[in-house]
Amino acid sequence: MSEKITAPLISRVITDDQCIACGACLSACPPDNVRSTFNSFRGAFEAEIVSPESCVGCDKPCDSVCPSIAIDFVKARAAINRGNPDDLNPSRDGWIRSVQLGWSSNYRDDGVSSSGGVLRALVANSLKVNRPVVCLAVDPDDDKLKPRLLTGIEDLKFVPGSIYHSTSFAGAIDLIRMADRPVMLVAIPCQLAGILQYISTCEKNLSKNIEVIAGLICGWMFSHHSLSAFAKYKEISEPIIDARYRGGDRVGKLKLITQDKELLFDRRDFKSAQERIDYRSSFSTDYNRLRCRGCEDHLNMLADVAVGDAWLGRTSTKKISVVVARTSVGESMVRELESSGQINLEPSSFEDLIESQSRNLVFDTIARKINKQLKEAGKKTPQYTYNDSDGIVSVSFLDRLQFNVEMFFRRIVRKKHFKLYRVLMVVRHPLLLLRLLLDIISLRK
Ligand SMILES: Cc1cc2nc3c(=O)[nH]c(=O)nc-3n(C[C@H](O)[C@H](O)[C@H](O)COP(=O)(O)OP(=O)(O)OC[C@H]3O[C@@H](n4cnc5c(N)ncnc54)[C@H](O)[C@@H]3O)c2cc1C
C-alpha cells in the first residue's frame, strides 16, 4: 500500500504569507526538497516545496525549525549560551542588560550606515580582530544581495546599509557551517530566529561556530511592490535593481538603482501634493510583509547586542543608534569598542527605547492584535514562547475595522493595481485630498 502524502505545515506558512525566507527549512529538509524563490504575487522571497510527492514518509524536520510555526526564545537562546547562567533568564521583553546611545565617528556619516553606524563599527572591529562575519552583503561579481562570509576589512565595502525590502536569507546556515573559525552573525530578528531554531533543533554542534550575534532592531520589511508602484508613479520604465531607503541623514533620500542610473528622491521636500501622494502610496504599511505585521520580536531578543535608530526628541538632529546589550558577551563587546575609541556611548534607558521605537513596537501590541485576528480566521501564525505575562491582547471593533481595511488594500497592492491604490489612498486620507485640491486651485490662478 502506498504511503499517504502529508503536506508539511510550512506549506501553510507559505500560502498564509508567513514565510520570511530565513532558510532554516532548506537546511533541515533531508532530500533538499525546499528552495528559496521569489513570489511575484507577494513581491517577496519565500520558501517553495519543490515536489510535494517527495514529502511521503518524511517526519517533517522543516516544520520543527520554522520560526513562523513556533519559536521558543528560551530554547533558542540556550542553544548558544556560552556558559553564563545570567544570560538564560529573560527579563520583561527579553534579555536586557543595558541600553545605551551610541555612534561611530568613522561610520555614522559614511553615506551607507542608516543610523549611528554602531553596527558597521561592530562588523569592522570583528574583521579587524580576524573574526569572520556572516551578514547580508553584495557580491562584487554579480551585484546580488545574499548572506556572505566576510573575512577581511576590505570586504566591508560590500556591506550595505539597511535593506528594507525583501531578500532571501537562505545560505547563512551553510556559511556558518563552512567557517574555519567562529564568526560574528549579523541578522534581523526573523532571520536569526530561523537560524537559531535550526541549530537548537537539528545541528547543536553549529553553535560553537558563532562567537557573537549582532542584531538589527526591525520594524518591518516592504514587499517589492512598493518599488514597482513608485516606479510606476514616477514613470521609470527600466527595472529597479535595488533601493536604498536612507541616505545622508535621519530620514534621507530614497535612492533607486537601475541598470545604468541612480535616481534620487527627496523624502521630505515634496514639491506638490502629487509627489506626497506618490510617496505615501508606495511606502505605506499595506506593502509590508504580513509576517512582519505580526512579528512579535522587533527588538531582536536573540541577539547579543541589538542596534536600532535612536529617534529621540533630545537627539533629533543627529544620527544616533540605540544599543541594547542583551548578554554578557554583547555587553563586553560594546564596552571593548568604547574603550578602544571605536564608538562613543552615553547612558540611556528602556524608556528611551520606547520613545525611539514606539510602544506598539516595543510591546508588539499591533502584531498581537493582527495575529489574534489571523488565528481566528484560521490562518497560520507563529506560536511565540517567552516569559511574558503581557501576551494577551483584546481586539476592539476599531482594530477589526483597521485590519480589514489593511487586508483590502494589501490585496489591491498584490494585484498590482497601483493607480487604483493611489486614488483610494487619497480617499482614505482627507488631508492628502485637501492638499491636492489646494494644488489644483493654485495652478488655476
Ligand atoms: C528591514 C529593516 C527594518 C528596520 N526597522 C527599524 C525599526 O523599526 N527601528 C529602528 O530603530 N531601526 C530599524 N532598522 C534600522 C536598523 O536597526 C539599523 O540598520 C541599525 O540601527 C544599524 O544601523 P547602522 O548605521 O549601525 O548600520 P547599517 O550600516 O545600517 O547596517 C548594516 C548591517 O546590517 C545588515 N543588514 C542590512 N539590512 C539587512 C537585512 N534586511 N537583513 C539582515 N541584515 C541586514 C548589513 O549586512 C550590515 O551588516 C531597520 C533595518 C532593516 C534592515
Q: Tell me the per-residue pLDDT of 301-359, one tens digit each, with 9 for 90 and over.
A: 999 999 999 988 877 667 889 999 999 999 999 999 999 999 999 999 999 999 999 99
Structural domain includes residue 158: no
- What is the count of structural domains for the chain? 2
Q: What is the pLDDT of residue 172?
A: 97
Total count of residues recorded for the chain: 445
Which pLDDT value is given to residue 66? 97
The x, y and z cell numbers of residue 34, run together, are: 525546499
What is the model's pLDDT at position 432?
85
- Residue 211 maps to a domain: no
Residue at a domain's end among 45, 65, 85: 65
Q: Is residue 103 in a domain?
A: no
Q: Quick check: is 379 in a domain?
A: no
Distance 309 CA to ligand 1 centre (A): 9
Write out the residue range of the structural domain in which residue 51 sits: 10-65
Instruction: State phi, psi for 195 to the nearest 5 degrees.
Output: -65, -45
Task: Determine how many CB atoms are found less than 10 A away from the CB of residue 209.
Answer: 20
> How far is it, in rounded angstroms, from Cα 330 to Cα 310?
19
Which among 162, 288, 353 is the best mutation to test ligand 1's pocket, defined by most ligand atoms within 8 Å of the CB?
162
Closest protein CA for atom 31 of ligand 1:
161
User: 182, 133 in Cβ contact below 8 A?
Assistant: no
Asked if 36 and 23 touch (Cβ cutoff 8 Å), the reply is yes
- Of all protein residues, the one whose alpha carbon is nearest to atom 24 of ligand 1 is 117
Q: Is the pTM of this model over 0.85?
A: yes
Distance 70 CA to ligand 1 centre (A): 24
C-alpha to C-alpha distance for 440 and 273, rounded to whole angstroms: 9
- Distances in whole angstroms, Cα of residue 295 to Cα of each of 20, 221, 291, 382, 413: 11, 11, 6, 8, 21
- Cell readout for 52 is 510535494
- d(CA 394, ligand 1 centre) in Å: 31
Domain end: 65, 89, 109, which one?
65
**Domain termination residue (choose one: 20, 35, 65):** 65
Could you give the maximum distance between any two Cα atoms of the chain, in Å? Answer: 82
Residue nearest to atom 15 of ligand 1 (CA): 308
Angle at 398 between CA 392 and CA 404, to 5 degrees: 95
Q: Which residues of the chain have pLDDT under 70?
A: 1-5, 90-94, 246-252, 267, 316-317, 386-391, 445
Residue 17, in any domain of the structure: yes
**Residue 197, SS3 per DSSP:** helix
**How many A from CA of 437 to the centre of ligand 1?**
38
Ligand 1 atom 4, closest CA:
218
Name every protein residue with a CB atom under 6 angstroms from any ligand 1 atom: 112-120, 123, 135-137, 159-164, 167, 186-188, 191, 216-219, 221, 307-309, 321, 357
| Mutate which of 104, 216, 226 for ligand 1 pocket (most atoms within 8 A of beta carbon) | 216
- Taking the centre of ligand 1 as the mean of its atom positions, its distance from the CA of residue 416, in whole angstroms, is 27
Q: Pull the grid cell for residue 113.
A: 550606515
β-strand partners of 72: 385
Phi, psi at 131, each rounded to 5°: -100, 115
List the residue whose alpha carbon is closest to atom 47 of ligand 1: 136
Question: How far is ligand 1, taken at its centre, from the CA of residue 420, in Å?
Answer: 32
Instruction: Please indicate, yes or no, if residue 266 is contained in any of the structural domains.
Output: yes
pLDDT digits (tens, 9 = 90+) for 159-198: 988 888 999 999 999 999 999 999 999 999 999 999 999 9
Q: What is the pLDDT of residue 176?
A: 97
152 is a domain residue: no
Whether 196 is covered by a domain: the verdict is: no
The pLDDT of residue 258 is: 86
Neighbours of 402 (CB within 10 A): 15
CATH of the domain at 38: 3.30.70.20
> So what's the pLDDT on residue 140?
83
Enter the DSSP assignment of 249. S
